Structure 1
Amino acid sequence: MKTRRLGRTGYEVSEIGLGCWQLGGDFGPVGDDTAKAILDAAVNAGINFWDTADVYGGGLSESRIGAFPKAGAVKVVTKVGRSSTLFPNRYTKEGVRQSLLGSAQRLGVSTLDLAQLHCVPTSVLRDGAIFRWMDELRDEGLVRHWGASVETIEEALLCLEQPGCATLQIIFNLLRQDAATQLLPKAAEKDVGIIVRLPLASGLLTGKFDKTSVFEASDHRNYNRDGEAFSVGETFSGIPFDRGVELVAELKGLAPEGMPMSQFALRWILDHPQVSTVIAGVSKPEQIADNVAASEQRSLFPALSKQLGEWYEKTVKPEIRGGV
């Protein structure tokens, strides 16, 4: 597995990471044996960067990682700010501290390697107090570094202004390309690590769905398809599902011969050198090998990358809901 530097944290992280939202059961039930098999497969594949959050399964994702015997060999990062004790307008320094202490306890550590603000409201970011609290909690030793997971480029740029912000986690994929020009160069100038989430647009970019595909009631791709539960941009990158299926069909015609759709999508992200790691979630251990294979695929030709950018601007961007 190839590694990249995670900005000013100095951490050397696998360029394909593991998103652990699925371990909380938010994409449908995942049993304990399956969860352990996923983590085993990740370790065996050389994936040393795992991303979780306190609200994934109400702490279940963190607890499963904390109970995993080999978790000490990887960088486990978590998030804070979406629990009912804080979101949307009850943020205090003590509340943030208690949430982080709970994460540390579930993960079985005394200091968190990296804690990320978890899609907190734009108004809270503009106020700025939460950034000072994170600096202070870092200085107290509760976290080694802090960053932010954001929903829009506007929010990312607000966080980028903060000297203490070491990483940004963003939505970036073939169906959400704006960060390539509007954010990534600025992050590189400030040595802020870029963590990409939703690289496969909630699975759309695997190319395995059609308009008849159905999802379990507990899967956010069912209950948040149109933003009923949280930001619509977090599900299928804000693209209406049926339209997303059509767009992916167009992409299949552009993929290099012999390159699976999911690897094509991941390779496009990895071709941006400012990206430190791509956190791809899985619900089955065998899916990890497919994600990891993207790291070994050849870079896309510049002419194809240019074509994909033009296709996005003309065809995809007008379809996005929830902001970019």
Structure 2
Amino acid sequence: MKQLTLGAKGPQVSQIGLGCMSIAGAYGPTTEAQAFALLDAAWEAGVTFYDTANIYGMGRSEEILGRWMADRRPEGLVLATKASIIPGPPREIDNSATHLRSELEGSLKRLGLERVDLFYAHRRDARVEPEVLAETMAALVREGKIDGYGVSEWSPASLRRAHAVHPVTAVQSEYSLWTRQPELGMIQACEALGVGFVPFSPLARGILTDDVQQPVDYAKGDFRTRNPRFLPGSFERNMAAIAPFREFAAARGTATATLAMAWVLAQGNGQMAPIPGTRSIAHLRECLAAAEVKLSAEDLAEIARLLPAGFAEGGRYAEAQTAGVESYG
């Protein structure tokens, strides 16, 4: 798989990475053996970029990754993890130096590592100025705990403030055909500053696929049970809006997930490293197949006609999930 540099001075990563929230059960139960099989399939396919967080399964995702890495010892793997979110209820965000240091130590222990390639502030803590956050992260870099740092769900203005104190390696934001906010300034800011851009949920939490799970079948605790776009009424209307896109993919002989991922890869001058998440090896392969798809100007124009920016009904998050998510534009 094609490798790219994450930002101007970040690590070399695979063009498509793997988000590891699903292996901890965020979208339904899964076993460690199934997680290992998925991670093996990703690695064998050339995926070198893996993304996790301390709250994915309350540490379970990191523990699974730690045991998998200890067993397989994959050379050249680039690993990112995150901290900031205190689940609650109510959900709180803490980017204090004390909290981030403590959570990073816990993550390193679960991962079985002495340092991590990339450490994100998972959300924006309004009590901690971006410059102060940057100073905390810079200290962790100097101490050899992390190679670089990132921010997730921040605004371009906050990114610029942090970057001016210590360069940000990467920004992680939700970005897909149905979530286009980063086009209102974040993608441009990352390009201008030499910061990597990492889209998460590039398949719209599974709705941009051919095998869409119905809300009535969601497992208890599934992230989508409270998500406005998946609630009754909105879900059906969103499915209807996406149907012509599925037909377009089928006419091309392409899986819907593959075409949706290819659209993401075609944005940002080809310098984005999306991190789709899945529990399924078959779905993983559909995602990775996008690396071989070349979209023409006519293809992109037709996709824009079928799914114009802003087509999705409902907010990205339920109110309880919006803590620390910065809006802009």
Cα distance in structure 1, aligned partners of 2:35 and 2:61: 9
Per the normalisation by structure 2, the TM-score is 0.84
2:95–2:124 contact (8 Å) kept in structure 1: no
Rate the CA distance shift 1:45–1:10 in 2: closer, same or farther, 3 A.
Answer: same
CA distance in 2, matches of 1:292, 1:173: 16
Q: Give the structure 2 partner of residue 280 of structure 1.
A: 276
Question: Match for residue 189 of structure 1?
Answer: 192
Corresponding residue number in structure 1 for 2:133 = 130
Match of 1:202 in 2: 205
Q: For residues 94 and 172 of structure 1, do their structure 2 counterparts lie closer, same or farther at Cα, with a shift above 3 Å needed? A: same
Among 244, 263, 270, the alignment partner of 1:268 is 263
Q: Which residue of 1 aligns with 2:291?
A: 295
* Percent identity for Structure 1 against Structure 2: 26
1:252 aligns with 2:252: no
Change (3 A) 1:133 1:87: farther
Distance 1:30 1:249 in 2: 29
> How far is the alpha carbon of 1:241 from its aligned partner?
2.1
Q: In the comparison of the two structures, how many residue pairs are matched?
A: 309
CA RMSD between the two structures: 2.7
Q: CA deviation at 1:71?
A: 5.0
Conservation of the 8 A alpha-carbon contact between 1:206 and 1:262: yes
The whole-number CA distance in structure 1 between the counterparts of 2:18 and 2:183 is 22
Task: Give the 3-state SS of the residue equivalent to 2:273 in structure 1.
Answer: strand
Per-residue CA deviations over 1:34-79 (Å, capped at 9, x if unaligned) read 0111111111111000000000011010011111123542111100
Which amino acid counterpart does residue 238 of structure 2 have in structure 1? G
- 1:294 positional shift: 0.9
Asked if residue 57 in structure 1 is aligned to residue 57 in structure 2, the reply is yes
The equivalent of 1:82 in structure 2 is 85
Out of 224, 227, 232, the position equivalent to 1:225 is 227
Partner of 1:145: 148
SS at match of 1:188: helix
CA displacement at 1:253 relative to structure 2: 3.6
- How far apart, CA to CA, are the structure 2 residues paired with 1:277 and 1:252? 24
1:88 to 1:288, Cα distance in 2 relative to 1, 3 A: same
Counterpart in 2 of 1:37?
37
In the other structure, the counterpart of 2:323 is none
Measure the CA separation in 1 of the matches of 2:181 and 2:304: 9
Counterparts of 2:156 and 2:278, CA distance in 1? 26
CA distance in 2, matches of 1:172, 1:89: 22
Q: 2:85·2:94 contact (CA, 8 Å) conserved in 1?
A: no
How far 1:88 moved relative to its partner?
1.8
Partner of 1:177: 180
Answer whether contact 1:81 1:87 (CA < 8 A) is retained: no
Alpha-carbon distance in 1 for matches of 2:297, 2:313: 24
Q: Which runs of 5+ in 1 are unaligned?
A: 227-234
The aligned counterpart of 2:18 is 18
State the alpha-carbon separation in 2 of the partners of residues 214 and 65 from structure 1: 28
